């Protein structure tokens, strides 16, 4: 039996590393084209220090200008701390708050300037805030498939943190292949073991890849029962700490190509082509 697939499009991830500022109206126009495609969720921006990510300084303005009258897509924004979560909760059109939680102490410090222990406290505070404002928390387990910093990592450690987060009441967990280090074997092992063990949690795959390895990664996740896939059109964005310069976000068009082969593609091809063209305009103009 085929499961219903959810595709999360991540223009925020694609844009945030671009140094040249993309005008707010261009962002709105691009995201508006994405809203017509049928994505389950669109990761539209983040509430983070402008010094840390200048590109996302206009997230609140972008949100205020989006027309959601003809879309079923839900909106997600990334929040790295409690202040960001509080700012996000001021916006009724945001459905999901995404919190990056690293099981690598080093990466957590680099990403949010907090230890893992401190980050757990923030996560619990954000969960309480979500409950109060009718939002859902999506926790991204960054370094979910390994890390380059020498910190202890194993599938058992991922499982232990999943257990901890489940006890807190987290409902959506996205395993993030932060540096593109995942292999089909690891992907299969994690999803095929965690998904049956935690039926109340929706597991997602936020995979980074080189152009040559996308198929085997999607294939491993799909056949391990994963039903939630993050992507970015044309694979723009990704982690600057990846060892291979060709490593980027999982290209959404590759996900859709794979799902079409499986006869399980949930999106509208005509409107996706239009959004793909809008992406080309944005990312060829701004670098």
Q: What is the pLDDT of residue 240?
A: 59
What does the pLDDT look like over 162-191, one tens digit per residue? 999 999 999 999 999 878 889 999 999 999
pLDDT attached to residue 102: 83
What is each CA distance from 42 to 37, 71, 104, 166, 176, in whole angstroms? 10, 11, 27, 24, 17
Q: Strand 208-209 and strand 248-249: pairing? A: antiparallel
Q: What is the pLDDT, as a whole number, of residue 148?
A: 67
pTM of the full structure: 0.95
Length of the chain: 287
The answer to whether domain 6-285 has CATH 3.20.20.70 is yes
The Cα 165–Cα 158 span in angstroms is: 11
pLDDT of residue 104: 75
pLDDT at 85: 98
Which residues have C-beta within 8 Å of that of residue 163, sequence separation ≥ 6? none
d(CA 141, CA 175): 5
Listed as ranges, residues in the chain with pLDDT below 70 are 1, 111, 148-149, 239-246
pLDDT at residue 243 in the model: 59
Q: Which pLDDT does position 244 carry in this prediction?
A: 63
**pLDDT above 70: percentage of residues in the chain:** 95
CA 119 to chain CA centroid, nearest Å: 18
Q: What pLDDT score does 117 carry? A: 87
pLDDT score recorded for residue 235: 94
User: In 190-203, which positions are buried (b, 16+ CB within 10 angstroms) versus exposed (e)?
Assistant: bbbebbeebeebbb
pLDDT digits (tens, 9 = 90+) for 21-65: 999 999 999 999 999 999 999 999 999 999 989 999 999 999 999
Closest C-alpha to 232, from 41, 5, 26: 41
Calculate ∠ Cα 157-12-180, nearest 5°: 40
């Amino acid at each position: 039996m085929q499961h219903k697939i959810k595709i999360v499009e991540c223009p925020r991830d694609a844009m945030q590393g671009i140094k040249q500022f993309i005008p707010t109206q261009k962002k709105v126009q691009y995201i508006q084209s994405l809203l017509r495609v049928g994505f389950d969720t669109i990761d539209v921006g983040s509430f983070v220090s402008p010094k840390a990510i200048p590109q996302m300084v206009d997230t609140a303005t972008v949100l205020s200008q989006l027309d959601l009258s003809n879309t079923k897509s839900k909106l997600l924004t990334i929040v790295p701390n409690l202040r960001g979560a509080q700012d996000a909760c001021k916006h009724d059109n945001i459905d999901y708050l995404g919190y990056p939680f690293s099981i690598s102490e080093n990466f957590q410090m680099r990403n949010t300037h907090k230890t893992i222990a401190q980050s757990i406290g923030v996560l619990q505070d954000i969960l309480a805030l979500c409950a109060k404002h009718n939002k859902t928390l999506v926790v991204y387990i960054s370094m979910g498939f390994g890390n380059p910093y020498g910190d202890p990592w194993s599938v058992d450690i991922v499982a232990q943190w999943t257990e901890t987060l489940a006890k807190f009441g987290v409902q959506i967990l996205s395993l993030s292949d932060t540096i593109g280090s995942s292999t089909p074997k690891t992907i299969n092992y994690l999803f095929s073991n965690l998904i049956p063990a935690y039926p109340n949690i929706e597991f997602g795959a936020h995979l980074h890849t080189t152009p040559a390895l996308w198929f085997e990664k999607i294939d491993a996740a799909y056949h391990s029962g994963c039903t939630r896939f993050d992507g970015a059109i044309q694979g723009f964005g990704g982690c600057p700490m990846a060892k291979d310069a060709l490593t980027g976000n999982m290209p959404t068009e590759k996900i859709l190509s794979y799902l079409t082969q499986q006869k399980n593609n949930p999106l509208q091809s005509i409107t996706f082509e239009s959004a793909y063209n809008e992406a080309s305009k944005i990312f060829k103009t701004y670098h």
